[in-house]
Chain A
Amino acid sequence: MELIDELTIREQLDVHALRAEFPILERQVHGKPLIYLDNAATAQRPLKVIEAVDRFYREYNANVHRGVHQLSGEASEAFERSRRDVARLLNAPSEREVIFTRGTTEAINLVANSFLRPRLEAGDEILISHMEHHSNIVPWQMLCEQTGAVLKVIPINQNGELLIDALDDLISERTRLLGLVHVSNALGTVNPVQEVCAIAKRQGVPVLIDGAQATPHEKVDVQALGCDFYAMSAHKMYGPTGIGALWGREALLEAMPPWQGGGEMILRVSFDETTYNELPHKFEAGTPNISGAIGLGAAVRFLEDTGLDAIAHHEKKLLDYATEQMQQFEGLTIIGQAEQKGPVIAFTLDGVHPNDIGTIIDHHGVAIRTGHHCAMPVMQFFEVPATARVSFAAYNLRTEIDVFLEALDKARTMLV
């Protein structure tokens, strides 16, 4: 047997067994079996995550790091175990470098306010790309408004790929940070993060990576990538909403002032002076989202048990099949045709507005996202008011893509 076949077999995912772990996949929508193709907006949750959250509330609900009693000890242990899970997922050198946040957006805002703001002067520059999610645009714009700094944008080409050659000219001695999305939610593009980080590092520019769409689909290694900050959300990778994490280099995090004040982030408080807590607690003011963090840890272990290689392999097959079928679909244009793509296909259909596509195929049980996908500059670049988007997860099936295409055909018949 050839090596490639052995590899294929080893990477095979038992999708039907996996689907059994997701109770929501059994439900019907408008009398049809649910076909959930809106995973880039949020993925569904496996029993392991649902049960981990449920068990916390049933068996050991208590505040963390505050009590001497048994329950508080158990809750703190589970909470910190999740931090170790996230550190392992990202191959972070230390769990002290993992800060729990509400999600990717808050992680980026933390870096904007605690890391960048104190070192930003009028005329300094922040560099991002044309394919960023609003969460990696607006925090920097707000900072620019307040400090007189300037936002600069790395262009993209018609395939939706980063024009990396433009980077050398765009980075100047005034560039204070480069923010880049790892995998674009609106186009699917997987950016050459390692290469970008190497270029930025040569010029001494710190790099923040928005990894919201990357962690569910591929192995992320922050040390190999060479970035300085990495932001992620649990709910894109089968975990709960309202929880995510920021990874940052320890030396940078140590030097950063706290962002929010309150309990947990202090060691000692008097009216004259407050001593801040150590990493990572310095950045976690107030009672955290404990059940969320525990669910996030369960999601990490779910990804590890399922195998990210097997997931990536399965999703690539879905992406290739769907791309091939959609390219043959009359009047359909795929927006975002990068060489390296995550399992996301954005598209438009002649004569049918994305909003109508979304409504009509919902009545065939198919859930997709329509609109601007929180990436309006991408819509402007491709001169479309909106797109429809299918995005795949580990539990999706090839037959679901067939049903989606049949439903799409019905939408076209109805409206054109």
Chain B
Amino acid sequence: MALDQLYQQLVLEHNRSPRNFGPLAGATHSARGFDALCGDDLLFELRVEAGRVVAAAFSGEACAVTKASASLLTEWLPSHGRDEVEQGLRNFNVVLQGVEPPDPGFLGDFARLGGLAEFPSRQRNAKLPWRCALEALEA
């Protein structure tokens, strides 16, 4: 059932026990992500050194998809710079089309979220943390 692919164990588990949830000590960059339509409201915080993320955390209220995506992203971000985050979002967009991304290893767990292809109305949720992280890095 498609629903089980959306709410797969990976998503459920990260929703129940989000990683890096809460304020980030020594944050250098931050951005707020807000989805007025569904009520997601995130604060994404990053510690950036020499153009690369060394730590990431998020707080706020959001649906399971956004929360899981944010949690996964805080694990993915460290060691990556702005250009790589942009590349990551581009590759993730390919996953959201239901297609195998160019370099699945680069995306890590995000490559496993292809179930979202059948839920166009929920893709904005999965992308919100990425937009947030990018905005924080631009600031």
Q: A: which residues have CB within 8 A of B? A: 352-356, 359-360, 363, 370-372, 376, 379, 384-386, 414-415
* Partner of A414 from B7, B40, B63 at Cβ < 8 Å: B7
Q: Is the CB of B40 within 8 A of A372?
A: no
Q: Is the CB of A370 within 8 A of B3?
A: no
A354 to B37, CA, bound (A): 11
Chain B: minimal CB distance from A237 (Å): 25
Q: Is the CB of A371 within 8 A of B39?
A: yes
* Partner of B125 from A352, A354, A355 at Cβ < 8 Å: A355
Chain A: minimal CB distance from B74 (Å): 19
Contact with A along B22-50 (1 / 0, CB 8 A): 00000000000000111111000000000
Q: Is the CB of B63 within 8 A of A356?
A: yes
Give the nearest-CB partner of B119 in chain A: A359
Given A372-B36, A372-B37, A386-B38: A356 and B65 interface contact (C-beta under 8 Å): yes
Q: Is the CB of B39 within 8 A of A386?
A: yes
Give the nearest-CB partner of A363 in chain B: B3
Q: Is the CB of A355 within 8 A of B7?
A: no
Give the nearest-CB partner of B1 in chain A: A363
Give the nearest-CB partner of A352 in chain B: B64
Given A376-B36, A385-B41: A356 and B61 interface contact (C-beta under 8 Å): no
- Give the residues in chain B near A384, CB-CB below 8 Å: 39
A188 to B105, CA, bound (A): 50
A379 to B37, CA, bound (A): 12
Since A353-B38, A371-B37, A385-B39 are in contact, a sample of 18 more A-B pairs with Cβ atoms closer than 8 Å, ordered by chain A residue number, is: A352-B64, A353-B61, A353-B67, A354-B39, A355-B39, A355-B40, A355-B64, A356-B7, A356-B63, A356-B65, A359-B3, A359-B121, A360-B7, A372-B39, A376-B36, A385-B40, A414-B12, A415-B15
* Chain B interface extent, by class: 20 to 34
A415 to B36, CA, bound (A): 23
**Can you pick out 26 interface pairs between chain A and chain B where the beta carbons lie within 8 Å of each other?**
A353-B39, A353-B61, A353-B62, A353-B64, A354-B38, A355-B38, A355-B39, A355-B64, A355-B65, A355-B122, A355-B125, A356-B7, A359-B3, A359-B119, A363-B1, A370-B38, A371-B37, A371-B39, A372-B39, A376-B36, A379-B39, A385-B40, A386-B39, A414-B7, A414-B12, A415-B64
- Give the residues in chain A near B121, CB-CB below 8 Å: 359
A384 to B65, CA, bound (A): 18
- Give the residues in chain B near A376, CB-CB below 8 Å: 36
- Does B6 count as interface, using CB distance less than 8 angstroms? yes
Pairs of residues from A and B, 9 with the lowest C-beta to C-beta distance, nearest first: A386-B39, A385-B39, A353-B63, A355-B63, A355-B38, A363-B3, A356-B64, A385-B61, A356-B63
Interface centre among A360, A371, A386 (most CB of B within 10 A): A386
A363 to B118, CA, bound (A): 12
* Partner of A371 from B15, B38, B125 at Cβ < 8 Å: B38
- Give the residues in chain A near B40, CB-CB below 8 Å: 355, 385
- Give the residues in chain A near B39, CB-CB below 8 Å: 353-355, 371-372, 379, 384-386
- Give the residues in chain B near A352, CB-CB below 8 Å: 64
- Give the residues in chain B near A372, CB-CB below 8 Å: 36-37, 39
A113 to B61, CA, bound (A): 39
A414 to B63, CA, bound (A): 13
Q: Please provide the chain B residues from 112 to 130 with a CB less than 8 Å away from any CB of chain A in the complex.
A: 119, 121-122, 125
Interface centre among B1, B7, B39 (most CB of A within 10 A): B39
* Partner of B12 from A354, A359, A386, A415 at Cβ < 8 Å: A415
- Does B2 count as interface, using CB distance less than 8 angstroms? yes
Chain A: minimal CB distance from B95 (Å): 19
Q: Is the CB of B38 within 8 A of A359?
A: no
Given A353-B63, A372-B36, A385-B61: A360 and B3 interface contact (C-beta under 8 Å): yes
A168 to B90, CA, bound (A): 58
A355 to B121, CA, bound (A): 10
- Give the residues in chain B near A386, CB-CB below 8 Å: 38-39
Chain B: minimal CB distance from A356 (Å): 5
A385 to B63, CA, bound (A): 10
Chain A: minimal CB distance from B92 (Å): 19
A35 to B45, CA, bound (A): 42
Interface centre among A352, A356, A372, A415 (most CB of B within 10 A): A356
Give the nearest-CB partner of B3 in chain A: A363
A386 to B1, CA, bound (A): 27
Give the nearest-CB partner of A386 in chain B: B39
Q: Please provide the chain B residues from 60 to 94 with a CB less than 8 Å away from any CB of chain A in the complex.
A: 61-65, 67
A379 to B12, CA, bound (A): 26
- Give the residues in chain A near B125, CB-CB below 8 Å: 355
- Give the residues in chain A near B61, CB-CB below 8 Å: 353, 385
- Give the residues in chain A near B119, CB-CB below 8 Å: 359
Given A353-B63, A353-B64: A359 and B37 interface contact (C-beta under 8 Å): no
Give the nearest-CB partner of B61 in chain A: A385
A374 to B22, CA, bound (A): 30
- Give the residues in chain B near A363, CB-CB below 8 Å: 1-3
Given A363-B1, A385-B61: A415 and B7 interface contact (C-beta under 8 Å): yes
